[in-house]
């Protein structure tokens, strides 16, 4: 009974929190300038990507490096589906696009779902060879798949338009899409993690042999995490394509994976809350850090801007996090209303006893 009420209360809290977020987004929509909207979009997008990447790397503990491949597949799928036949004919100047793609054009939302499904399917296929190996080998093989996808995108002229890429996509993606899907992703993945499937994934992470011994099929739970992750990365890819409106194979290098990796490591491998916080801080902080790349005038001395310095700092931060704060921000802990309540009560007990 009390448990039920507690749950009701927490649900109401969550709904209120989401409503507050939407109010905030609405006010941003009304008053913010393009640059701020862009950062908001990036944050929402990176929440989707980081949280879904964290599912396979953090929650299931299978350290893999393939998100750039998944994002590429999702982006191309979605972009090829929303472009109109006329636009495609214009874009594919070297060789015409192959048949079924040349006539299809669907609404954005359908293309996003398709991007998710197609990417999940590729993830599923990729999972069979990939999960025959573990540890560092898994990392390298998935990294290899990322490269292979990029090489294929570069060479299949009749499908992806090769190195020319796809230009002039409609900018459908706005803060409602990115943040709406970000909330959906967080909700879906945290439910999954708390379900029996999620428990099994964690068991696989901590001790695969022991998990197998109590009857958990490690392979299929890895596959579930991988495919789910691929699904959301694919959707993220679709959003990305219609956010920046131009995609080409050079966009989907390991660099993209590296950004996500910093986020989930800094947030704490295995913590959804951590991934969300890190996605916000790092995306926003990355913009704020542009300062180091611009010339600085300190009055008495002028420091010339150093382009590219941000990435040096980011990689340095990653090394420092690994050496000094291996748990990241949150470790494997998660935010919960009960946890917050306990914190507040403890705080009240400590400081407000007299009152």
Partner 1 sequence: MEFSLFAQQLINGLSLGSLYGLIAIGYTMVYGILRLINFAHGDVMMMGCFFAFYGIMIFSLPWWASFPIAIVLTALLGILIDRGAYRPVRNAPRISALITAIGVSFFLENLGLVIFGGRPKGFPRPDIFAGIYTIGDVRFLGLSVWVPLITLALLLFILFLVYRTRAGRAMRCISYDMETTRLMGVDVNRIVAITFAVGSAAAAAGGIMWAMKYPQINPLMGVIPGLKAFVAAVLGGIGNVVGAMLGGLILGLAEILLVAFRPDLSGYRDAIAFGILILILLFRPTGLMGEKLPE
The footprint of partner 1 (CB under 8 A) covers 63, 129, 132-137, 139-141, 143-145, 147-148, 151-152, 154-155, 254, 258, 261, 265, 306-309, 311-312, 314-316, 318-319, 322-323, 326
The span from the CA of 72 to the CA of 167, in Å, is: 15
Smallest gap from Cβ 28 to partner 1, in A, equals 32
Smallest gap from Cβ 266 to partner 1, in A, equals 11
The span from the CA of 165 to the CA of 234, in Å, is: 18
What is the number of alpha carbons within 13 Å of residue 90 lying toward its C-beta? Answer: 9
Closer CB to partner 1, residue 237 or residue 328? 328
Smallest gap from Cβ 316 to partner 1, in A, equals 6
Residue carrying the six token digits 């300062």? 291
Q: Quick one: 210 exposed, middle or buried, by C-beta within 10 A (0-12, 13-18, 19+)?
A: exposed
Closer CB to partner 1, residue 194 or residue 326? 326
The span from the CA of 231 to the CA of 271, in Å, is: 19
Residues 65 and 254: beta-carbon distance below 8 Å: yes
Closer CB to partner 1, residue 69 or residue 189? 69
Residues 224 and 271: beta-carbon distance below 8 Å: no
Smallest gap from Cβ 4 to partner 1, in A, equals 40
Helix, strand, coil percent values for the chain (each to nearest 5): 75, 0, 20
What are the strands, taking DSSP E only, across 122-267? none
Closer CB to partner 1, residue 183 or residue 330? 330
Residue 254 DSSP code: H
Closer CB to partner 1, residue 128 or residue 347? 128
Smallest gap from Cβ 269 to partner 1, in A, equals 8
The span from the CA of 296 to the CA of 306, in Å, is: 10
Could you tell me whether strands 302-303 and 296-297 are parallel, antiparallel, or unpaired per DSSP bridges?
antiparallel
Residue carrying the six token digits 């390991």? 254
Residue carrying the six token digits 């990392």? 139
Closer CB to partner 1, residue 145 or residue 172? 145
Closer CB to partner 1, residue 148 or residue 303? 148
For CA atoms 67, 68, 72, 78, give the dihedral sign. positive
Closer CB to partner 1, residue 184 or residue 316? 316
């Amino acid at each position: 009974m009390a448990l039920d009420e507690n749950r009701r209360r927490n649900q109401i809290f969550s709904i209120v929190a989401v409503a507050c977020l939407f109010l905030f987004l609405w006010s941003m929509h009304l008053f913010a300038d393009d640059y701020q909207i862009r950062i908001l979009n990036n944050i929402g997008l990176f929440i989707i990507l980081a949280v879904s990447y964290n599912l396979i790397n953090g929650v299931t503990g299978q350290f893999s490096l393939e998100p750039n491949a998944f994002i590429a597949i999702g982006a191309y799928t979605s972009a090829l589906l929303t472009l109109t036949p006329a636009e495609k004919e214009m874009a594919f100047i070297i060789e015409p696009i192959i048949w079924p793609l040349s006539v299809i054009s669907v609404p954005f939302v359908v293309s996003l779902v398709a991007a998710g499904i197609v990417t999940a399917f590729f993830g599923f296929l990729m999972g069979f060879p990939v999960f025959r190996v573990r540890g560092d080998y898994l990392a390298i093989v998935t990294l290899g798949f990322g490269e292979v996808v990029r090489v294929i995108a570069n060479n299949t002229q009749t499908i992806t338009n090769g190195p020319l890429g796809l230009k002039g996509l409609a900018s459908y993606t706005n803060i409602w899409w990115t943040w709406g899907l970000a909330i959906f992703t967080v909700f879906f993945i945290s439910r999954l993690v708390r379900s029996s499937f999620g428990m099994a994934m964690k068991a696989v992470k901590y001790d695969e042999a022991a998990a197998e011994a109590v009857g958990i099929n490690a392979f299929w739970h890895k596959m579930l995490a991988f495919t789910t992750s691929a699904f959301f990365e694919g959707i993220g890819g679709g959003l990305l394509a219609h956010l920046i409106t131009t995609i080409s194979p050079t966009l989907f290098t390991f660099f993209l994976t590296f950004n996500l990796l910093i986020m989930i490591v800094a947030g704490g491998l295995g913590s959804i809350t951590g991934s969300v916080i890190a996605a916000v801080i790092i995306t926003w902080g990355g913009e704020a850090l542009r300062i180091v790349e611009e010339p600085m005038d300190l009055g008495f001395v002028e420091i010339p801007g150093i382009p590219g310095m941000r990435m040096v700092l980011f990689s340095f931060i990653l090394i420092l996090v690994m050496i000094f704060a291996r748990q990241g921000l949150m470790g494997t802990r998660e935010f919960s209303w009960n946890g917050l309540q306990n914190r507040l009560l403890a705080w009240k007990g400590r400081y407000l006893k007299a009152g």
